[in-house]
Structure 1
């Protein structure tokens, strides 16, 4: 049955004298494709000077053009540097190296790896001009600490390391690729071998690169550098304004994650400048994304007043839209605005913003917006508690619980659990200790066996808080039972947050036993 195959091109550069390695390089790639690549749908194609077709122009320029089409580059050196090529460079390999470095700086090539073949001790003592140049280059690589390299004694050692690299590069391909994604032009397979393909180079298009970038944003695949590489390729392949803007937005997200906040701002501002007055729904959606992402970047820069202004812009532009994607961005913008008010200590304005979210979207059935509503209610309760308005906070937490406690979505369960935990704390602050115990019990009963870490942490806190309240009520035996419940539930947990609660339970239990014996 036909399926799709993705090809990555790997360039090999080396001076003369390494013909055995170059031949082994191609054979190893062929072997890897048959055993690992073809079954996984990801193969590699070897590219080198051997593939440069005869045509008008300087031969080295043809090789450089082939290098510019590659996804990875491997460079090999031994005791020779090479001969001048007529371009002013000392060797063809030096020229190839400079092209590869530029491609890497421009994020147009994913990775570069170098190999240095061991040289006998006699040559080390008397290197000669050729090997001296290799030594100086290697020292520069070691000092720069920018590129990975390996030394190897024999061709077989080079092949073993190359296989490891191919496996790493294969695994870096989006592992959780969804079946419904549009991958663009790919190579159809109708057999179990790659020989039938003739290694035709059908390059993926915009849709493929954009989806690759999105896959690497997923938590299971998080790779910001990879996102930037793929987004750059989508950017260059874009043929419409919307395609360009979507790719630029991903570039901005990747730059933000790589702590290049100035670069991220540049990306988001470019989109905003171009799409600000657009009327098409696709352009409006991308504009809303860019505005929200700009706000996130402003907050990372500590510019919360500016973020509030940007969030208000999103609400003003799209607040009345019935488009679900734009409604989601409005909800997110308001949520971010509330967060900035909290950071600035403007609690009343924060509470008003959370109230606005619930008023606008309280009846929405969209998952992203429902989570924004739950988050707004929880944060409103926390803000009210900061103002010592515990009774009002309890009313808000009850609203969260009544809306979302029985919901199975993990994000909504998280907020239900937080609401129960915070409600119990507020009841305790009001002196309603029995009610606080009952609320903690409700949380414990609801989420005791849940495997999600945030919910397990809340259960541990509820058990510990229950034990402390029972201690304050002089109900020592019941408090000890609560400690035992916590210890038995989480003593085998490996997470530090749960281990801390277990340690606290042991300490509290020991203190309770002493107090109980004194009371007796």
Structure 2
């Protein structure tokens, strides 16, 4: 190949018939890549799929398709609800899509090529709870990929987010910057308090079952047995999540949240979907929660559901809706004189105002929360407020006072062994040091965040740490590390549906545009 000749990268896409729009987006992504990135990187991506065979032969010839698979450099498989067209002539495979994947996989095992990417479009929890034949095969396939850890896979929510995934992964492939599948660590640790509540409820159910036996109440015995079984299943699902077996945990949680009327189990399911980035399923769990507890009822359960719903809206960048929902929670908590709930809601409202840039109202909310937490001796709540006040002071430029708040919050959380909240304060300190220009200390703090959150599986916090590390490396002029950090952050922000993904994507675009400009500035 001459120096001026572009490197050809042949990219094959395989999918069942329910992803027509995604196949169009695949070709759109390659067109855009070839116009911009391809010129700068001296590469040309060539899209391949059954459409090309149809255009050249007038029919869908699996033999010709297999030739394209044997010649491709990158193989992309994308799936949603369908497993693929029945293939009577493709034994031992049950569909042509499955045959295509395994053909690429066997070639990869022998030669290390093609690079294989697998993308799954998210399916709602209710459908997964009662999947049918086609979706059941897709779920089992996801579990197989997770267990074998040979092939990286990702989730996406829409044709547009699929386009972004194709763009990101093909750029990384062309530059030789892909992560290895075995490096993936998706363990998710659910809140200990929620697990303890589930265990307590299970023990109560077992105790009442014995009482029902003595009373010979067969109907009550059966009901309590079902309750105990559901609670044990929830514990098992949480254990699987902690072990990194997310697909197996998801299978259990989708069934549980669809069938149960137990609010403790729904809370655990909400936390699982929230922490794994499936915000749509998390929303649906809270909708069911509110249906059971009564959205108009002034109960603790309804207030807690509204509080969690407000957090989800904030994560999606819908601050007006978040404020509205948190105020509903506040009204209920005040009517119940539920002091801890009032303090929590003030803190949540403070975060909404801080995100808007309304530091005055944010500080007022945090101060109100702090007073209540001090009255109750609720040191965990005090630690949260100290950290939030630190953010307000930092944004005002009062760095000394901000650091004092962060350190106070960190000390409490270290004493209590609250890893999640320790990570929050390490992140806050990292931001402060970065603003001060102390890049070494900032990097140290962000890496402490990653060390904790990669164990806990907190995707939003991990993504923030990556993007913040990118800023540190940018200030140092380490362009390669900046791009790596931004790409990692973008992938995670996409998974959780965070609006910050667009901001970091823009930073990455500006970085790449800057690189392209500098390449043309070399003196002759």
State TM-score, norm by structure 2.
Answer: 0.39
**Structure possessing the higher relative contact order (Cα contacts under 8 Å, 6 or more residues apart):** 2
Q: TM-score, normalised by structure 1?
A: 0.39
Rg bigger for which structure? Answer: 1
